[in-house]
Amino acid sequence: MDLLNTLVDKGLRGESPTREEALAVLATSDEELLDVVAAAGKVRRKWFGRRVKLNYLVNLKSGLCPEDCSYCSQRLGSEAGILKYTWLKPDEASKAAAAGVAGGAKRVCLVASGRGPTDRDIDRVSKTIEAIKEENEHVEVCACLGLLSEGQAERLRAAGADAYNHNLNTSENTYGTITTTHTYADRVETVHQAQAAGLSACSGLIAGMGESDEDLVDVVLALRALDPDSVPVNFLIPFEGTPLAEEWNLTPQRALRILAMVRFACPDVEVRLAGGREVHLRSLQPLALHLANSIFLGDYLTSEGQEGKADLAMIADAGFEVEGTGTTTLPAHRAAGAGTGCGSACGDAPEEAAHAAEADGRARTDLVAVRRRGAGTDLPPNA
Ligand code: SF4
């Protein structure tokens, strides 16, 4: 396929596709899926070999958020039956982080619900970062605390944070339909603040919220322009009790096409397969390792992932290897400037049949399990 040859050539040179080319990747048929995965896989291997970086989430503060992000089980008015708790103490967070590191995680992501941290919250998180680094000198720490105020990114950097995550989530055009309590511009500004403070920026998206192909390409190209070091790709987990509970729009094939498009658009950037992979990729998860070079180990913020041991077995079975602490994740040209481096077509109706496996909107609530172990509970974490 000319399109794929062009995109491989561009990706190997570190160049992004045009908007039209990115849209064309999303429009490929299920028949072409393995060709698309193989092509984007060449780009992935050029920049990241067969390494998979493991990241581990610690939810420092869960639920009770005053913001109204429609996709989020922790939002204002959420009726999802998630764990709700206030700030973990530094030693509790450090213990949770240690479990992830022992499981093979190279980066720990410290996340807190809320619009953004107060200066007192920055103090707490700084102490937590110090406690984690004391125990695990080489672990990368990424903070994800919402919108930052002036000077807060610098304080996190001084406390030892390596990276800051703040996702754009969806296109600028549709942002107002997903969240009304803050704006897309607010989010862009926080990513800029993190970069200006010398933190490795991590910013990504959520697919499956009812967006169009154009929206997906817009947000991915906006991310490319923002130039984060890592791009997490989430697939919506439609939590019961949230406004998007009925949005079951993704198939495993569609999820792979989205990941391939992100890889082509961000060839030399850490593309992280994030929340929702078990729910939407299901048995095709191993194919996604040919596209993403990074995944979360174990559980997510408010939902359970597959067992950490199953993640490790999947990586080994698919012929990939867990990236060690002695290896720099990003290609040399990027790492230098970053923190520490954050139904096949049938004959007569090909158009309609090309996406025959497109989601039928049937809810798979059986695949969504609320997290009941690890941080905020007395039970051991999944790592
Ligand atoms: S995504 Fe963050 S800011 Fe939005 S509702 Fe959830 S916890 Fe609050």
Catalytic residues: 65, 69, 72, 109, 142, 202, 272
Ligand 1 atom index nearest CA of 66: 8
Q: What is the pTM of this model?
A: 0.91
Q: Domain ranges for the chain, please list them.
A: 2-324
CA 63 to centroid of ligand 1, rounded, Å? 8
Going through 187-276 in order, the beta strands assigned E by DSSP cover: 200-202, 205-207, 230-235, 270-273
As a whole number, the mean pLDDT across the chain is: 92
pLDDT tier for residue 103 given thresholds of 50, 70 and 90: very high
**Which of 138-147, 300-309, 347-356 bottoms out in mean pLDDT, i.e. has the lowest?**
347-356
Does the pLDDT at position 158 exceed 70? yes
Is the domain 2-324 a CATH 3.40.50.1220 member? no
Q: Whose CA is nearest to atom 2 of ligand 1?
A: 113
Q: Which atom of ligand 1 is nearest to the CA of 75?
A: 5
Give the model confidence (pLDDT) of 306-361 as tens digits. Answer: 999 999 999 999 999 999 888 899 999 988 655 443 333 333 443 444 444 456 66
Average pLDDT over residues 204-216: 97
Residue 75, pLDDT > 70, answer yes
Residue 167 CA from chain centroid, whole number: 8
Task: Look at residue 378 in the predicted model and tell me its pLDDT.
Answer: 83
Q: Are strands 230-235 and 163-165 parallel, antiparallel or unpaired?
A: unpaired
98 CB-side CA count, 13 A: 14
User: Considering only CA atoms, which of 338, 337, 232, 382 is closest in space to residue 294?
Assistant: 232
Contacts of 46 (CB under 8 A, 6+ apart): 11, 12, 267
Give mean pLDDT, residues 49-76: 95
Ligand 1 proximal residues by C-beta, below 6 Å: 65, 67, 69, 72, 74-75, 113, 115, 146
* Overall residue count recorded for the chain in this entry: 383
Give the residue-averaged pLDDT of 123-141.
95
